[in-house]
Structure 1
């Protein structure tokens, strides 16, 4: 089963890092967050990736073109212009890199890679979110419901704590940050049947995947949610990058299942 990853956005909310590279190439622990996402899938045996490129897509191309070299021990004989590979630490990834346009929106990017997916179920996610999600359980859930689309849903943690205050202004209770149990959000990590492309008819270049396609799937009762109650984090802003980096450096990277 192939894994499609959106990796073409501008990443404007983390501009400190994305002036020279696309957001999926922003590093956590010395590796692009894109690599971390791929490692999550690889842990469950899924190594066939289709990357939807856009903004500064050549940076991602150069990374994978030189991946073997960058992850190998080598001896370089400069005088004789020879290189000997002593050992490699490369992954089992097979990566298809597709230019889908610098300004194309997510529905258009997905439609453009249809020919590389074939007539089979596939997975789809965003190039900036990591989780300790069990991909095997996600697939089992998708198959059991027999719907066109499955989305992973998570509950966001509140950014601030809360207080209950009595009429006389006494604090009746104080709550530290907690998950908002009333609201589930789209966390990516989709599983899709090939029939999903029926919802991507016409010119989709100005259409977000999260708008009409998902809305119409919902109207037709073809979208189900896999509730993930574990760790999930999207690297949306610089503070998220710093939090993920701190987790990695402190050996507390909850998404690291490999």
Structure 2
């Protein structure tokens, strides 16, 4: 996304100031924000010209010219959704917001011709998939068909469409099936390498087996997830926040099936009938800076929560990246059936 520093205005700016901003800006309009970067509207050259025709002077305020209902996209919108908005409204750039705040401008041309990026994508695909037996008796879980292709195929495609084509698969159980299907990745438009786990390594331990240390920030993702997260926005969020680790998190609601009795000092203070509690849970998608590899012990079982706890203990910045788009962890049979029911509606065929 393009930065907004050179195109932002406030409602009190003058027409003359707005014209200067638009003329030298990197896009064809200016964005109007408040002091907290809340998006108040946009202003184009055409808006200014129409104002001048109505008699506004160069020293007049731009407030009456602002389009206060611009087309915007959310940081959690998929690439397809943003392209759909752009095509529908015939736009070349779209403001991207997060919780009402403007974070950047998406140039649609960049979506249409994504450049291959150097950031590695490390996929954890070595699990046994015991909860999906007998389906996984002969096939590793990431290779189970959902829709018309293996889960792992969809994951690879989703990363590739954002330009992330340098992929490492950490394999173990029935790894030959994965290797035979994907090979070196050439027919999928990506490059694939394999890291073999000869023993159970946990959700982070396999990172200690990488032959070459990544030079750039890199993704880590579980290989049994279906999601349409915008990986490019996760990457940009990670860079902009100067985080050592960024974790995709989702809100998870859990209803207590009983009436909850609140007690204080041996007295009942209130009773809540089947209340719902909300938590933020890890979505199994991460972006790391290379320094995190220094904290993973070599060749032993090591889980992701342990790694993240160590990073926090050492004082590193660990930030959440909230996702609201489609996400499904295919761990049990009912989730597998749900994935097949929903696949076409989310990803098409």
> TM-score, normalising length from structure 2?
0.57
Counterpart in 2 of 1:207?
Answer: 302
**Gapped runs of 5+ residues in structure 1?**
69-89, 166-171
Counterpart in 2 of 1:26?
Answer: 144
Equivalents in 2 of 1:215, 1:66: separation in Å? 35
Equivalents in 1 of 2:167, 2:273: separation in Å? 49
- CA drift of 1:5 comes to 0.3
Structure 1, residues 161-210: CA drift from partner, whole Å, max 9, x if none? 98989xxxxxx9999xxxx772011112211111011111x345222122
Equivalents in 2 of 1:257, 1:157: separation in Å? 28
Distance 1:153 1:257, change over 3 A: farther
**8 A Cα contact 1:51 1:97, kept in partner:** yes
Q: 4+ residue runs of structure 1 moved beyond 6 angstroms? A: 160-165, 172-175
Counterpart in 2 of 1:216?
Answer: 310
- Match of 1:10, SS? coil
Equivalents in 2 of 1:111, 1:257: separation in Å? 37
**Gapped runs of 5+ residues in structure 2?**
1-118, 261-271
Distance 1:67 1:124, change over 3 A: closer
- Match of 2:334, SS? helix
Counterpart in 2 of 1:56?
Answer: 174
- CA drift of 1:18 comes to 1.0
**8 A Cα contact 2:185 2:191, kept in partner:** no
Equivalents in 2 of 1:257, 1:142: separation in Å? 29
Equivalents in 1 of 2:231, 2:348: separation in Å? 11
**8 A Cα contact 1:142 1:191, kept in partner:** yes
Counterpart in 2 of 1:136?
Answer: 232
Q: Establish whether residue 47 from structure 1 lines up as the match of residue 165 from structure 2.
A: yes
Distance 1:181 1:190, change over 3 A: farther
**8 A Cα contact 1:55 1:102, kept in partner:** no
For residue 337 of structure 2, the aligned residue among 203, 227, 242 is: 242
> Which has the greater radius of gyration?
2
Structure 1, residues 199-246: CA drift from partner, whole Å, max 9, x if none? 11x3452221222x1111123242111011222110010111110101
What is the root-mean-square deviation in Å for CA atoms of aligned residues? 2.7
Residues 139-218 of structure 1 mapped to structure 2, 5 A cutoff: 139-156=235-252, 158=254, 182-200=278-296, 202-211=297-306, 213-218=307-312
Q: Which has the higher contact order (CA 8 A, sep 6+)?
A: 1
- Size of the aligned set, in residue pairs, is 219
